Chains A and B, each alone.
Chain A
């Protein structure tokens, strides 16, 4: 069986989502060791325009499907199209983003196409003739390395911000149109409206920088000082479970085992003690800054840089000093 890889790319607002190039980066690494071609599938409104931006990335072909019925994501329509593409191309591996879409779509397509899926992987590589995926379990308190048994199509979803995105390598790539035969009647669950998150900041799971507040924030209004710092850095704002449970922040921005799992380049934890369940959501951040009054707070054991001090004093000073140099 050829080790051909299909990358399921994501399109948003006519542009290609960052995760797509990260998936191509991972696919290139695997195919360099295993042989086999890499194709990319793009589904939805703007797929063709987005495909144009991927033609110089060493892909064998880009498959686009942008029928009217696929304009907006729906599990059933996308699963039907993707499983068709997978069956037709006899792919050995299918890489998806561990995103809202990938998490919803992956297992459904896997079931449709009699495959096997590894969710939320942080690394993927060839070991001999086997493709090994590394993934966290128990919210990152342990990791497993896992391989498929037999040769079913292997779906692997990879977390954003974990693999270096592919760089253009020149050359061109043909774009193929996939005509789907999905009809509107086949979609039983359909998105009728989208409510954007307030504030216009980047999403926690995609942000390069995150500023998070804990119980020590004392009040909802005090998040303003974190927002000032975040705006300066183009960062997302998060909160610990303690802060959410105390009503200081909405559950949508909770970071931790029962909130968002994040992996930014820079994570600034303000007044967060570092409970196990919080660390589980952010421990893989590249650089962690901890600001806390308590020198014994467990967050300092995971942090790269720490300041012992009152966040209400330290954070505004940090914002001021950063503003001078940025």
Chain B
């Protein structure tokens, strides 16, 4: 079984995000980049499926991203993925879900696949679109926000639980399909020392757009960012104090009712 796991390089969740002086993006200094949190679940789920399906199965990481993404791809290889495709091209600097999906679709078709795992969204632009656009481009079903995954005995179908408002849906899907992963699906493993050593010898196939057969641009960005804005500042906290905690609680109730009018 050929299993793909899609990976994106994003700022760490604890990174301080500040808008640059020109107002055209964020300041890059001091930001630590990591594998997108949800993509870690995708890699892990791919590895678990491979372990279940046996030796003939492989996990291939597919990443569209800058040169610096290489070390994160190595991390996924150290977790146990077999090899990787890294599409790296200066022309891809401005991320647009359609452009990324078009590039991924080409790379993935060339690679071949039986199932694709990815994160439910990237924690930088938070668009959550690429996997569904990709599913349409590849003409395969999608199951988003998976919290449980089980493959059928014949490996032609899978049962997925997907998180929705107020509960979970159980979805039966044919394969191939794209499954986007939610926290809780699994507990991603850490790379072991032998894993890290082995990863150094694993193949990362670097591709440019030309290598993928794009004679011209893979499409123009379909949107324009007019401006970047910082989040609204908090207007300050009213500390509720009293000798007796009961009086503080009473005062808080009064403020919530009379001032904030929310209860």
Contact = CB atoms under 8 A, between A and B. Distances in A.
Interface of A: 73, 75-76, 79, 99-101, 103-104, 106-108, 110-112, 116-120, 127, 132, 134-150, 152, 188-197, 203, 205-206, 209, 233, 250-252, 254, 257-259, 265-266, 275-277, 280, 283, 286-287, 289-290, 300-309, 313-314, 317-318, 320-322, 325-326
Nearest to B142: A75
Given A108-B142, A116-B223, A149-B220, A321 B253 contact: yes
Contacts of B238: 304-306
A259 B120 CA distance: 11
Interface in B168-209: 168-174, 177, 183-184
B142 A139 contact: no
A290 B226 CA distance: 35
B245 A140 contact: no
Interface stretch (B48-56, B110-118, B122-130): B122-130
A117 B129 contact: yes
Contacts of B155: none
A325 B253 contact: yes
A58 B32 CA distance: 50
Given A139-B126, A287-B260, A193 B169 contact: yes
A118 B262 contact: no
Contacts of B223: 116, 118, 146-149
A142 B128 CA distance: 17
B144 interface: yes
B237 A119 contact: no
Given A147-B223, A252-B184, A306-B238, A314 B245 contact: yes
A277 B222 contact: no
Interface of B: 11, 13-17, 19, 26, 37-38, 97-98, 101, 123-133, 135-137, 140-145, 147, 161-174, 177, 183-184, 220-231, 234-235, 237-241, 245-246, 248-250, 252-253, 255-257, 260, 262-263
B60 to A, nearest CB: 23
A111 B165 contact: no
30 contacts: A100-B164, A101-B164, A103-B128, A103-B144, A106-B129, A108-B132, A108-B133, A108-B136, A111-B101, A116-B222, A117-B129, A132-B226, A137-B125, A139-B126, A143-B228, A144-B228, A145-B227, A145-B229, A188-B173, A191-B171, A194-B167, A197-B167, A203-B165, A258-B38, A275-B14, A286-B260, A290-B237, A306-B240, A307-B240, A307-B245
Contacts of B173: 188-190
B150 to A, nearest CB: 13
Contacts of B131: 107
Contacts of A132: 226
Given A144-B228, A301-B237, A306-B237, A108 B256 contact: no
A266 B261 CA distance: 10
Contacts of A251: 147, 183-184
B contact face: mostly helix, strand, loop, or mixed = mixed
Contacts of B126: 119-120, 135-139
A212 B258 CA distance: 23
Given A107-B97, A188-B173, A301-B237, A196 B255 contact: no
Contacts of A107: 97, 128-133
Nearest to B173: A189
Residue of A135, A149, A188 contacting most chain B CB atoms (<10 Å): A188
Contacts of B129: 106-107, 110, 117, 119
A100 B147 CA distance: 13
Nearest to B140: A188
Contact of A142 (B169, B172, B228, B262): B228
Contacts of B250: 321
Residue of A76, A103, A150 contacting most chain B CB atoms (<10 Å): A103
A252 B148 CA distance: 12
A139 B123 contact: yes
| 4 residue pairs, one from A and one from B, having the closest CB atoms | A107-B132, A189-B173, A111-B136, A100-B164
Nearest to B180: A104
A140 B240 contact: no
Given A108-B136, A189-B142, A194 B169 contact: yes
Contacts of B220: 149
A48 B128 CA distance: 31
Nearest to B174: A188
Given A76-B141, A191-B171, A318 B252 contact: yes
A138 B124 contact: yes
Given A138-B124, A143-B229, A250-B184, 13 more contacts: A79-B136, A100-B164, A108-B133, A110-B133, A120-B126, A136-B231, A190-B172, A194-B168, A197-B168, A301-B234, A305-B238, A305-B239, A314-B245
B53 to A, nearest CB: 20
A118 B129 CA distance: 9
A189 B174 contact: yes
A185 B169 CA distance: 20
Contacts of A301: 234, 237
A143 B17 CA distance: 11
B252 A189 contact: no
A13 B170 CA distance: 18
A138 B13 CA distance: 8
A221 B17 CA distance: 37
Contacts of B162: 100
